[in-house]
A and B are shown apart, each in its own frame.
Chain A
Amino acid sequence: MCNEVIQVDVIIPTQTKYLDLIGSIGEHIAKDLDDFSGDREALAYHLNLVLTEATTNAIKHTTQITPKDTVRITIHIQDNELNIKVYDHGQGFDLETVPLPDFDHPKESGMGLYFIRTLMDSVSYTKQTDCNILEIIKKL
């Protein structure tokens, strides 16, 4: 059980040097959660990874259009549910068409969304008029 309410809202420039900061926030949240009975070290790594991958995707999508843009990341924990939203201002993509990696013929790219899908409970990507939102949910 995890009864805390945590809300984090971060806006960063579209630069990969901030990935460490974003990943570390997730890692610290996992390590400091009260009443979490699962594998805390694994959750810390997974949140670090998922936030890193999601933010990398947003930076890549956004920098193709306006290099001075920003990426917004929110993390919300309430009622044993962790919700991550990553907002980008790129052209967006269709999450459903992103294939699973071919494990017999591994490629150098395309594993990021696989990590997010595998380690979290649900993932969605919605295109809105002024931005796109990658929403990730993990039951705690």
Chain B
Amino acid sequence: MKLNLEKIKGFSVIFIQEERIDAHNSGELKEYILHMIEQGEVKIIVQLESVRFIDSSGLGALLSGYKHASAKSGKLALACCKPQVFSMFELTRLNRVFDIYTDLSEAFENEA
């Protein structure tokens, strides 16, 4: 799983550098996020601009991060979903769970 982590305005922002999140790399993403949370980084934004495909295991990895961050009084939010990726959140009603922002500016503004 190619990704970059940047600290911006007090948030840990994960820039996913893959076009595809599926059962081949979602386990690695899940472990990466859980490790961050264990290290105390619980204000997380996942930037999905490069991602043009996500499957059920990818959604599961993000949901796992959301639950673990919430359990530590943190938050995992999403930004820059492409329309077809967003439609997967709608199909599973996970758009009611995650806050999904158009861009990072909107995410920082609302999560501050």
Contacts and interface: CB of A to CB of B under 8 A. Distances in A.
Interface of A: 16-17, 19-20, 23, 41-42, 45, 48-49, 52-53, 56, 59, 101, 103, 106-112, 114-115, 118
Interface in B81-109: 84, 87-88, 91-94, 96-97
Contacts, number: 65
11 contacts: A23-B20, A23-B53, A41-B84, A45-B84, A52-B22, A56-B23, A106-B97, A107-B63, A111-B92, A112-B56, A118-B91
Interface of B: 20, 22-24, 53, 55-57, 59-61, 63-64, 67, 84, 87-88, 91-94, 96-97
A80 to B, nearest CB: 24
A26 to B, nearest CB: 11
B93 to A, nearest CB: 4
Which secondary structure dominates chain B's binding surface?
Answer: helix
Contact of B56 (A16, A17, A20, A109): A109
Given A101-B92, A106-B94, A118-B91, A45 B53 contact: yes
B22 A56 contact: yes
Contacts of B61: 108
Nearest to B64: A108
Nearest to B25: A16
Contacts of B93: 103, 106
Contacts of B55: 49, 52-53, 56, 112, 115
Contact of B23 (A16, A48, A110): A16
B25 to A, nearest CB: 8
B94 A16 contact: no
B94 A48 contact: no
B22 A19 contact: yes
